[in-house]
Structure 1
Amino acid sequence: MTLAIIPARAGSKGIKNKNLALLDGKPLLYYTFEAAKKATCIDEIVLSSDSKEYLAYAKENNIKPLLRPQELATDNARSDGLILHALTHFEGFENIILLQPTSPFRTHKHIDEAFHKFQSENANSLMSVKLADKELLKAFILDENGDLKGICNNDFPFTPRQALPEVFMSNGAIYIVKTELFKKYKSFLIPKSLPYIMNEKESLDINTKEDLEKANQILKEKQ
């Protein structure tokens, strides 16, 4: 049994009422609701939110609404808190899938493909990612003494780019984990965490008005 949790708090800074912002005439939440409902690997879907408006929209779309405590809906609140809160209300699920509503181009096919990889390779967790620039590995940070050191190690900054390993960034679209292991580690990055690679367009994460405009343009070009 698999529980999908969709986190959608009020008070976004980049776009007011972001999760109901219109993308091709439909609220942003609609796209994740539809993807979750069509995914064959999901048994129950819950929207975790501090917004009564979002919760009402979830109910209209046959998604279980769960009012999130205010302390789990601040700018600094981490996702582990809202997931553990959801698990106190929804018990008996072997796996958790977290689906952020800011990823409108993640479809049910992506969710089912990712879940198939998670199960077939006997993973403990899986995260959707996109390829990032290897140049990140050549960066420096300052140590506790204010001296330069490599962001990963002191060899990478001087290693030819082509010899550097691939770099991946989480795109926020899909997170899958075994429930009992999440309760233990309170993280998705645990032993035997696998990647599910998505392309740049599929990975578009809506955080600003520019992101929303870009998404609308992509949908117009598809029509």
Structure 2
Amino acid sequence: MLAIITARGGSKGLPGKNIKDLCGKPMIVYTIEAALDSGVVDKVVVSSDCEKILKVCSAYDVELHKRPAELATDDASSLDVIKDVLLAYSYNGAVCLLQPTSPLRNSTHLREAFERFSVGKFSSLVSVVRTNEPAQKVLVVNDHGVAEPLTCWEDLTLPRQSLSPTYQINGAIYLFYSDRFMEGMNIFTSPLYAYPMPENVSHDVDTIHDFEIIERALK
């Protein structure tokens, strides 16, 4: 399996977050180590526009891919970044997209997710965390303030215990096949498996507050 780690240099929420020191090592290193130690990844490619990030990653057994400038903007799609790597390496097979902003995801999570993905013959997999409140209670509000239920009106008044549990994507693990991705330019294809992860390891770093939460968890 090919693991693609996407690490853009620019970040408005927390500048330099991908290589910010997290309990003694750059944050991106946690993701590199998870991939290398998983036993299910054959090659790790770090795609970045930032020389500092690539230099940090050069100390590890990974391939360094300098992405084109047009794929380093705020509007650049991660799908185009994935396509760029797949074409550059002429790769065909299972792919794992790993974001360095999920440093609490470890090799065990990755190995377990891959085993479920391959044994179950799923087309794609995404890691999720259970929502604290059922999504059936969510309202969709338009520009005029008019609200509609996300599911149906009845769900809004049903006891929470009677509703099916709902999950949200936590951003830690995405698994898919390169050929199906290239056909539809989508990492989500049916049948999609939802790999559940505990809430305490599902934190994603976007702000300094997120970073401090993870720092306390690691300590």
Shorter chain as denominator, the TM-score bin is over 0.9
The whole-number CA distance in structure 2 between the counterparts of 1:89 and 1:172 is: 24
Contact 1:47–1:66, Cα closer than 8 Å, also in 2: yes
Deviation of the 1:145 alpha carbon:
7.5
Q: Does 1:189 align with 2:188?
A: yes
Q: Which residue number corresponds to residue 53 of structure 2?
A: 54
- Give the direction of change, closer, same or farther, for the CA distance of 1:135–1:54 in structure 2 (3 Å limit): same
Deviation of the 1:193 alpha carbon:
0.3
The whole-number CA distance in structure 2 between the counterparts of 1:48 and 1:56 is: 12
Q: Which residue number corresponds to residue 103 of structure 1?
A: 102
The whole-number CA distance in structure 1 between the counterparts of 2:34 and 2:218 is: 16
Contact 1:134–1:165, Cα closer than 8 Å, also in 2: no
Q: Does 1:149 align with 2:145?
A: no
Spell out, residue by residue over 1:113-133, the C-alpha distance to the aligned partner (whole angstroms, 9 max, x if none). Answer: 000000010000000110013
Deviation of the 1:146 alpha carbon:
6.0
Deviation of the 1:70 alpha carbon:
2.3
Moved more, 209-218 or 152-161: 152-161
Percent identity between the aligned chains? Answer: 35
- Helix, strand or coil at the partner of 2:76: coil
Contact 1:11–1:17, Cα closer than 8 Å, also in 2: yes
Which residue identity is paired with 2:129? K
Q: Which residue number corresponds to residue 165 of structure 2?
A: 166
- Helix, strand or coil at the partner of 2:190: coil
Q: Which residue number corresponds to residue 21 of structure 1?
A: 20
The whole-number CA distance in structure 2 between the counterparts of 1:40 and 1:173 is: 17
The whole-number CA distance in structure 2 between the counterparts of 1:194 and 1:25 is: 35
The whole-number CA distance in structure 2 between the counterparts of 1:62 and 1:41 is: 15
Q: Does 1:132 align with 2:137?
A: no
Q: Does 1:212 align with 2:219?
A: no
Which residue identity is paired with 1:42? V
Contact 2:176–2:188, Cα closer than 8 Å, also in 1: no
The whole-number CA distance in structure 2 between the counterparts of 1:126 and 1:73 is: 26
Deviation of the 1:143 alpha carbon:
5.2
Deviation of the 1:27 alpha carbon:
0.3
- Give the direction of change, closer, same or farther, for the CA distance of 1:70–1:118 in structure 2 (3 Å limit): same
Spell out, residue by residue over 1:156-185, the C-alpha distance to the aligned partner (whole angstroms, 9 max, x if none). Answer: 223321122211111111100011111122
Gaps of 5+ in 2: none
Q: Which residue number corresponds to residue 7 of structure 2?
A: 8
Deviation of the 1:95 alpha carbon:
0.7
Coordinate RMSD, CA, aligned: 1.6
Q: TM-score, normalised by structure 1?
A: 0.92
Q: Which residue number corresponds to residue 122 of structure 2?
A: 123
1:14-93 matches, within 5 Å, as 14-93=13-92
Which residue identity is paired with 2:207? T
Which residue identity is paired with 1:46? V
Spell out, residue by residue over 1:55-77, the C-alpha distance to the aligned partner (whole angstroms, 9 max, x if none). Answer: 12222212111111222222232
